[in-house]
Amino acid sequence: MSKKWGVRGILLYILFGLLMFAYLFYWADHTIPESLRGSVADPSTFMTERELVLSEEYSKIRYLLSLLSTPYEWLFYLLVLVTGASLLMEKSAEKISKYHAVQSAVYVFYLSILSFIAIFPFQYLSHRFSVEYGISNQTFSAWMKDEMLDFWLGFLTTFIIVAAIYWLMKKSPKRWWLYAWLFFVPYATFFVFIQPIVIDPLYNDFMSLQDKELEKEILQLADQADIPAEHVYQVNMSEETNAMNAYVNGIGASSRIVLWDTTLQQLSKDEILVIMAHEMAHYVKKHLYFGLAGYLGLSLVGLWILSKLVKRWGEQYKDTLKISGWNRLSSLPLLFALLSFMLFAASPISNAVSRYSEASADQYALELTKDPDAAISTFQKLTKAGLSQVQPPLLIKWFYYTHPTMLERLIMIQDFRTSEN
């Protein structure tokens, strides 16, 4: 039975891959409506013919890798289970130490190594294509350095969570999900707090905005929005990418408004102010706090559902999945696969909520700056720099877009400009 599950999983994945390839390269419609031809949302009005071709090629490749990577993760976890690899790793961890924390660390390390090796081809292809299409200029050695940093940070955080969850599973088989959530709330909040000041600087150099005149204007804009901002930060990203970005992260005293140096290099002052106004909207409208609260609320429901599924599947398919028990370390791939599937299934809803927040931030930025022309040129330049499609396929929008499409954003700005005139 285990072998059949593995073979079926592989065949289903191949079939899914062929369907997604056909969808992206032959079936999906990404053309803009005829009524918008020649408008500010028409990429042919602000992109060269070469850029349009590259955008279509790169988008299809990037979307295909994204669509294939998630079910590939599920297949990986299935094969780790049905081949008995998970049970072997558990037994090895138990031989090394009798202490639960050490066993958890050893098992998570084994699984992390296997996962890194299995997923590396997708990671490498994504990096390689971004370099070939001029999005990234990061060298392979610099990219591998970041990958190694990701590995060790991932291992550390996963070990802490896994050790806590499986200890709770044994101590309270019926209510472990509730206690895990109570542990997760301060853990997640603490992680959001320390990310801007501890985690992010491990990858890039952050500093106060060097253009003091620009910083003064940004702070004046913040004052108009009643934001108690004292500094704007810039981060050195030009050694890695040609794309542009700006963001707000952290909570409370760790909150930061950050600009990529590529954004500073490629946008005008007025365009940068539009982006800053957008990021300030997240602060004014408390999107970070609402997002964290919503995430914690959904995680409570998710953990409850996960507890039911992992127990039921772990008991019903114990022999097929080759695990020693639903609340033993060998069941971790099952737990991860179920969690990944649940997150993927919920992504259309969570992405829709995120797109709504981002659209409201766009609207706020327009109302604050009163400069729709700068907003239009900003999003057009962002589209060119990232070789993005203004109208992505519907499945891509549902499952991967946390922001409105460029078509939607440019239409909204055009409507705002029309209403103002």
Whether residues 108 and 11 fall in one domain: yes
Tell me 133's DSSP state: T
Whether residues 278 and 301 fall in one domain: no
Domain final residue, candidates 231, 256, 284: 284
Q: Is the pLDDT of residue 397 over 70?
A: yes
Q: Note whether 282 and 288 are within 8 A (CB).
A: yes
**What pLDDT shows up at residue 164?**
94
Q: Note the pLDDT tens digit of each residue in 93-126.
A: 999 999 999 999 999 999 999 999 999 999 999 9
How far apart CA 351 and CA 340 sit, in angstroms, is 15
Instruction: Say which residues have a Cβ less than 8 Å from residue 61's Cβ, sequence separation at least 6.
Output: 129
**DSSP letter string, 231-287:** --EEE--TTTBS---EEEE--GGG-EEEEEHHHHHHS-HHHHHHHHHHHHHHHHTTH
Whether residues 113 and 228 fall in one domain: no
Domain final residue, candidates 284, 311, 330: 284
Mean pLDDT, rounded, for 351-362 = 94
Q: Note whether 254 and 288 are within 8 A (CB).
A: no
Mean pLDDT, rounded, for 397-414 = 94
**DSSP letter string, 52-94:** HHHHHHHHHHHHHHHHHHHHHHHHHHHHHHHTTHHHHHHHHHH
Catalytic residues, by residue number, are: 279, 362
How far apart CA 384 and CA 390 sit, in angstroms, is 10
Question: Which residues define the annotated binding site for Zn(2+)?
Answer: 278, 282, 358
Residue 64 is encoded by which pair of tokens? Answer: 């295909």
Whether residues 400 and 291 fall in one domain: yes
| pTM score of the predicted model | 0.90
Residue 114 is encoded by which pair of tokens? Answer: 């296997």
Whether residues 86 and 190 fall in one domain: yes
Q: Note whether 299 and 181 are within 8 A (CB).
A: yes
Whether residues 72 and 155 fall in one domain: yes
Neighbours of 402 (CB within 10 A): 13
Whether residues 265 and 336 fall in one domain: no
For residue 377, give its domain range.
Answer: 2-203+287-420
Domain final residue, candidates 252, 284, 316: 284
How far apart CA 378 and CA 268 sit, in angstroms, is 9
How far apart CA 14 and CA 2 sit, in angstroms, is 19
Q: Note the pLDDT tens digit of each residue in 218-260.
A: 888 877 777 666 677 888 888 888 888 887 776 666 677 788 8
In degrees and rounded to multiples of 5, residue 249 shows phi and psi of -145, 175
Whether residues 185 and 327 fall in one domain: yes
Whether residues 258 and 359 fall in one domain: no
Whether residues 263 and 351 fall in one domain: no
CATH of the domain at 229: 3.30.2010.10
**What pLDDT shows up at residue 421?**
65
Whether residues 22 and 123 fall in one domain: yes
**What pLDDT shows up at residue 284?**
84
Mean pLDDT, rounded, for 333-344 = 95
Domain count, the chain: 2
Q: Note the pLDDT tens digit of each residue in 33-63.
A: 888 899 999 999 999 999 999 999 999 999 9
